[in-house]
Amino acid sequence: MKIIVTGGAGFIGSNFVFYMLKKHPDYRIICLDKLTYAGNLSTLKGVLDNENFRFVKADICDRNAVYNLFEEEKPDMVVNFAAESHVDRSIENPEVFLQTNILGTAVLMDACRKYGIKRYHQVSTDEVYGDLPLDRPDLFFTENTPIHTSSPYSSSKAGADLLVLAYHRTYGLPVSISRCSNNYGPYHFPEKLIPLMIANALNDKPLPVYGKGENVRDWLYVEDHCKAIDLIIHNGRVGEVYNIGGHNEMTNIDIVKLICKHLGKPESLITYVADRKGHDMRYAIDPTKIHNELGWLPETMFKDGIKKTIDWYLNNREWWETIISGEYQNYYEKMYGNR
């Protein structure tokens, strides 16, 4: 089996590459990644010498580059992680989100049509469903919840999902889509809540909590997400959407306080800052479908996963310190300087 994994130098994509090379040692994994600010080749250094792995630096929007790679490798499957993924950046500059997340998806699927494919899998997000109110803990996103997006990021992901389903109906492309809740774990880029708070706390810097910190996210350890995608691409039904989530809802402020506690840092570092525009209140996934059809269940409890994650950031300071000492500093100043 030959799989092209796009966005494999980013957070979830790299964890998926590691998971697949270990789980299926006979598979060939080809990572196609543009190496944007969020992609990091050093993340993949442990597998670059693996003879079943190949890294190709290219943009999923570059039709020639994508077609050439398909021509050369004749992949059996494509798993598309490549995306602009940060909501705050999408509020500042939506255009690149539309380019990569929608047009890039179209280019990949056109290549699949042209060269043939057993499965095209789109890695989507629960954010396409919009948000749920805090006072209705009985409500969850199912695969039938209407698409109702809030941010340019989630709108671009929803646009891509609609296109994927259209390619299935119109051209018969064998597609599947997964919509997962917030992930956490190793190699998470330090602009996102959990790694940002860990890095700031370790540097005794303020911990910027948006609004009142009462927004709720449904956190899943990244490896559980990778396992779910592996199940879907092999056993999931073509043309179907699968929600992935672990019934692990937490408020942002509780997460930040937990990180302070684990690191022995004072809660006085917490600083309440201006809220995100259009900030989604609550995400919560109903994973019944993937559980019933594919037997998937999350395996890592949050209390264990967050400890593993914090330990990883403590043991891999060089990885994130290199990131936050470079171009990222300009971003940080822009987003948080006058907030």
> Any catalytic annotation for residue 333?
no
**Least distance CB 274 / ligand TYD (angstroms):** 10
- Nearest CA-CA partner of 180 in 252, 237, 123, 240: 123
Tokens found for residue 190: 């330090």
Binding mask 181-200 for ligand TYD (x = CB under 6 A): -x---------xx--x----
Binding partner of 33, given ligand NAD, ligand TYD, none, CB within 5-8 angstroms per partner class: ligand NAD
Binding segment (CB under 6 A) for ligand NAD, from list 8-16, 248-256, 272-280, 322-330 = 8-16
- 10 is an interface residue for ligand NAD by CB under 6 A: yes
- 233 is an interface residue for ligand NAD by CB under 6 A: no
Binding mask 198-237 for ligand TYD (x = CB under 6 A): ----------xxx----x-x--------------------
Amino acid at 48: L
Between CA 246 and CA 244 the distance in angstroms is 7
Tell me which residue has tokens 């056993």: 235
From residue 1, alpha-carbon distances to 31, 71, 73, 109 in Å are: 14, 16, 11, 19
Binding mask 144-163 for ligand NAD (x = CB under 6 A): -------------x------
- 185 is an interface residue for ligand NAD by CB under 6 A: no
> Any catalytic annotation for residue 187?
no
Question: CA-based angle 299:22:317, to the nearest 5?
Answer: 75
Binding partner of 81, given ligand NAD, ligand TYD, none, CB within 5-8 angstroms per partner class: ligand NAD
Catalytic-role residue among 120, 153, 167, 184:
153
Binding partner of 215, given ligand NAD, ligand TYD, none, CB within 5-8 angstroms per partner class: ligand TYD
The alpha carbon of residue 239 and the mean position of all alpha carbons in its chain are separated, in whole angstroms, by 21
DSSP string, 4-63: EEETTTSHHHHHHHHHHHHH-TT-EEEEEE---TT--GGGGTTTTT-TTEEEEE--TT-H
